[in-house]
Amino acid sequence: MYPWCLKYRVRLMAFNSPLITGDRGITPADLIFACQVCAEEPLGDLGFWDKLRINRLNNDPVKFERMLKAFAGYVLVHDWPKFWELDKSKNGGDNGCPWPLAVVANLIASGIEEKRAWEMPECQAIWLNSALALRKGAEIKIMTPEEEAFMASEAAAAASTSAKEKTD
């Protein structure tokens, strides 16, 4: 497979893949299809090997879960910048443009070749888009690593308190 990029995200969005939309449970067939898209394999009817892989994953939930985690690691969403939430009334809310297209358009407008904008690793595109938007004066607030650690410790403390209250 090639590096996860906005091109693959948009393709899977077009197919309404639950790996992207999260609107239903993910099946082994969904995972195999996503891997085919990311490997730029021709799409079409399932071949013998695809059917065998799907059958094996259906019969081995532990392996299927391991493969889902591997795909999640491949996507690298954990490497994105963490943004402070802004009030939607201040930033205009949803403008109707799919966010991957907005990112690619900003990268192209900033002088990056279209092919490169679509195919650079997604986390790199998100970071670069954020830096370009900041340079243009956008109100984007990215968390520092210290702020992320503090938020994580606060969430863990809140979960611990909640768990303790349930046992009391």
Q: What is the DSSP string of 104-127?
A: HHHHHHTT--HHHHHHSBHHHHHH
Give CA–CA dist 4/122, Å, rounded. Answer: 6
Please list the residues that pair with 138 across neighbouring strands: none
Sheet strands (E) in the chain: none
pTM score above 0.85:
no
Q: Is 87 exposed, middle or buried (0-12, 13-18, 19+ CB in 10 A)?
A: exposed
- pLDDT score at 111: 94
Residue type, 108: I
Tens digit of pLDDT per residue, the chain (168 long)?
678 999 999 999 999 999 988 889 999 999 999 999 998 888 878 888 889 999 999 999 999 999 999 998 888 777 776 666 655 555 555 667 888 999 999 999 999 999 999 999 998 998 899 889 888 887 777 766 677 677 777 777 877 777 677 766
33: its two tokens: 């299809």
- pLDDT score at 47: 84
